[in-house]
């Protein structure tokens, strides 16, 4: 009976040790997915604005600084994330990405 109690106690301690780590990992993964989703939405907004600029001016902008991102409350909420977006004009169009990764080219 004593050995059974010892096994239960050790198992309980193991669960209490591992559970917080699993919770933290789960939280970090969820935050990472949320960040990815948010940045994809910002990137798509930039692509829409760049394409609209190109239709209006017959060329792509040299930077996203010339684009207007204050047309809606949703765009205003995205303004801090725009600092993470990287845009560059290329010979054949443009490239848009974040954190130095250009994930979309045209």
**Cα distances (Å, whole numbers) of residue 10 to 2, 17, 19:** 12, 10, 14
Distance CA(11)–CA(63), nearest Å, equals 58
- Identify the pLDDT of residue 100: 53
HSE of 82, CA atoms in CB hemisphere, 13 A: 18
Task: Give which of 44, 89, 87 is closest to 97, Cα–Cα.
Answer: 87
Q: Which domain holds residue 33?
A: 2-105
E strand intervals along the chain:
85-90, 93-98, 101-105
- For tokens 């130095």, what's the residue? 100
Most confident of 11-15, 27-31, 44-48, 68-72: 44-48
Q: Evaluate whether 69 touches 49 at the Cβ level (below 8 Å).
A: yes
Per-residue pLDDT tens digits for 50-86? 999 999 999 999 988 888 877 788 888 888 888 888 8
* Count of the separate structural domains present in the chain: 1
């Amino acid at each position: 009976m004593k050995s059974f109690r010892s096994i239960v106690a050790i198992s309980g301690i193991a669960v209490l040790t591992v559970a917080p780590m699993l919770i933290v990992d789960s939280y970090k993964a969820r935050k990472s997915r949320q960040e990815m989703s948010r940045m994809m939405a910002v990137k798509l907004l930039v692509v829409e604005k760049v394409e609209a600029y190109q239709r209006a001016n017959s060329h792509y902008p040299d930077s996203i600084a010339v684009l207007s991102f204050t047309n809606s409350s949703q765009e205003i909420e995205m303004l801090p994330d725009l600092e993470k977006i990287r845009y560059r004009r290329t010979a054949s169009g443009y490239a848009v990405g974040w954190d130095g990764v250009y994930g979309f080219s045209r």
